[in-house]
A and B are shown apart, each in its own frame.
Chain A
């Protein structure tokens, strides 16, 4: 970003040294191979017929590409239902966490009150919680409340994952907005909530999108809570559906790879569309301390 233009005159001794071009090329090629090869293999395997999957030695390209695996996943399995469940739960949990986080971040960013730093630290510790240590009591609590195997159960539980970081990220976005704007609004007679919705939120739209994308991706990918609290197929999410596919004795690898594709593509698209905001939001905290 701050690199000087290549044409800028610079004293020879002060020219920015760097890696040689060959080294960069080799490094990037290796990086791309490591990152993308599993997806390439997933894609190739998902369009192979059974006998082509189970040949020794394995074959790179399918001779007779087929969509039968996708047909099986989309029309003969419960994956579409799980897809719907995943969307309902992710959207619900993300939305709820965002609403709570907006108010909390506003409070942390704009007010001084007793115990503020302590409460902020508590929220950060919430992010560092070992989830495995609380699955047992959470399960019992959800059972008492009748929320095991319901959408609401998972939506609530997922806020453990999404809420702390959402509050943390939004607080740093809100702090970056010049306070003079809000003071001007106060003089004009706006209420605290009015300021939040008319001034702070529109100005921190990138931060809100970053939080939404982060929360959506983490809940979409979550496995352990879903495994414990959603055992009925009416609420199971995609990750559980995929695990069911692949842990039976006769794993149908073609269908598993097709289901993996179905699960990967939406999340990869969401990420690639929003990645600039997303990465900016995540790393802002890391560099600003």
Chain B
């Protein structure tokens, strides 16, 4: 039988992806149930990695980090998109400038904001004490209570432009008839936002939220570059814990066990989301 030419076109990319993704994923599974000599040890690595209190703490930190980031990314992103959906002179320029935080490297965002959050010489403490919001400078990155919110703020700043541009594209795809119908019914602008725009962009928001969850779970850069998970593990999220287990403690097998659990949870989230996406009305697939 002659192979289908379509399959031949697709094959090279699939082989590369298989080698780079499927093989490592399977290999992680093997590593997680063996020891350094390659002997089968059952669930020993899982027990070892789950026992320390820091693993639970990292899990809560991760939830807090992803959840906190997404709420503000979506709120700010949608607000920005609604603003930029208006027609006014200079809109094109503002739209490009608003994307710059998303384009720049995460590490640049991390260093710049770390400098702005600096306790003594940072501009943020200076501005906030100057206008009287804060009575005295705060150690944003050294205090246990403030460090995670600061990290979340940086992450929100970095990614809300992406939400904005996607939602804006969704807003611009809304058929004019819907607005006209709303106007015939005497809707004012905010009623239009609430009853026409928001329902129409729901699919975009769902899709973007999935990406944000994945990116949040992968986002090692900002936290690692600024605090490496400190102070006192306050910003230690699970991906950073995996990295430290593997490359600082050289416990590859325990890191693999943690990776397997992490991978399982992420894939579960992806599945739930894809199901939710597929169940949406008006899907044209």
Interface residues of A (CB under 8 A from B): 1-3, 13-19, 21, 24, 27-28, 31-32, 34-36, 38-39, 41-42, 45, 53-58, 100-101, 103-104, 106-108, 110-114, 116, 119, 122-123, 125-126, 128-141, 156-157, 159-160, 163-164, 167, 192, 217, 220-221, 223-224, 227-228, 238-239, 242-243, 245-247, 253, 256-257, 260, 263-264, 267-268, 271-272, 275, 279, 282-283, 286-287, 289
Closest to B246 in A: A136
Q: Pick the contact of B105 from A27, A31, A167, A267 — CB < 8 Å?
A: A267
Q: When A1-B172, A132-B217, A287-B170 are in contact, do A125 and B270 touch as well, CB less than 8 Å?
A: yes
Main secondary structure of the interface of B (DSSP, over half): helix
In angstroms, Cα B161 to Cα A55, docked, is: 33
Q: Which residues of A contact B169 (CB under 8 A)?
A: 283, 286-287
In angstroms, Cα B203 to Cα A17, docked, is: 24
Kindly list 12 other residue pairs between chains A and B, CB separation below 8 angstroms, not including A56-B121, A264-B104.
A17-B189, A32-B97, A38-B112, A107-B9, A135-B242, A141-B23, A141-B24, A224-B221, A260-B112, A286-B170, A287-B170, A289-B284
The answer to whether B157 and A167 touch across the interface, beta carbons within 8 angstroms, is no
Q: Pick the contact of A104 from B9, B173, B179, B189 — CB < 8 Å?
A: B9
Measured CB to CB, the closest approach of chain A to B162, in angstroms, equals 9
Top 5 closest A-B pairs, CB basis? Answer: A111-B6, A107-B9, A132-B239, A283-B169, A104-B13
In angstroms, Cα B218 to Cα A135, docked, is: 11
Encode contact with A along B165-191: 1 for CB under 8 Å, 0 otherwise: 110111011001001100110111100
The answer to whether A264 and B17 touch across the interface, beta carbons within 8 angstroms, is no
The answer to whether A228 and B108 touch across the interface, beta carbons within 8 angstroms, is no
Q: How many residue pairs between the two chains, A and B, have CB atoms under 8 Å in the bound complex?
A: 298
The answer to whether A163 and B10 touch across the interface, beta carbons within 8 angstroms, is no
Interface residues of B (CB under 8 A from A): 4-10, 12-14, 16-17, 20-21, 23-25, 27-28, 31, 79-80, 83, 86-88, 90, 94, 96-101, 103-109, 111-116, 118, 120-123, 126, 130, 157, 161, 165-166, 168-170, 172-173, 176, 179-180, 183-184, 186-189, 192, 203-204, 207-208, 210-211, 214, 217-218, 220-221, 224-225, 228, 238-239, 242-243, 246-247, 252, 255-256, 259-260, 262-263, 266, 270, 283-285
In angstroms, Cα B34 to Cα A267, docked, is: 44
Closest to B238 in A: A132
In angstroms, Cα B111 to Cα A253, docked, is: 9
The answer to whether B239 and A163 touch across the interface, beta carbons within 8 angstroms, is no
Q: Which residues of A contact B239 (CB under 8 A)?
A: 130-132, 224
The answer to whether A104 and B14 touch across the interface, beta carbons within 8 angstroms, is yes
The answer to whether B31 and A136 touch across the interface, beta carbons within 8 angstroms, is yes
Q: When A111-B4, A130-B239, A130-B266 are in contact, do A3 and B103 touch as well, CB less than 8 Å?
A: no
The answer to whether A223 and B220 touch across the interface, beta carbons within 8 angstroms, is yes
Q: When A224-B220, A267-B104 are in contact, do A111 and B97 touch as well, CB less than 8 Å?
A: no
Q: When A267-B104, A267-B105 are in contact, do A54 and B121 touch as well, CB less than 8 Å?
A: yes
Q: Which residues of A contact B23 (CB under 8 A)?
A: 137, 141
Closest to A259 in B: B111
6 CB-based A-B contacts, threshold 8 Å: A19-B83, A111-B7, A132-B262, A141-B27, A224-B224, A287-B173
Q: Which residues of A contact B83 (CB under 8 A)?
A: 19, 24, 27-28, 31
In angstroms, Cα B5 to Cα A26, docked, is: 57
The answer to whether A221 and B106 touch across the interface, beta carbons within 8 angstroms, is yes
In angstroms, Cα B174 to Cα A1, docked, is: 12
The answer to whether A106 and B105 touch across the interface, beta carbons within 8 angstroms, is no
Measured CB to CB, the closest approach of chain A to B247, in angstroms, equals 6
Measured CB to CB, the closest approach of chain A to B82, in angstroms, equals 8
The answer to whether A217 and B221 touch across the interface, beta carbons within 8 angstroms, is no
Q: Which residues of A contact B204 (CB under 8 A)?
A: 286-287
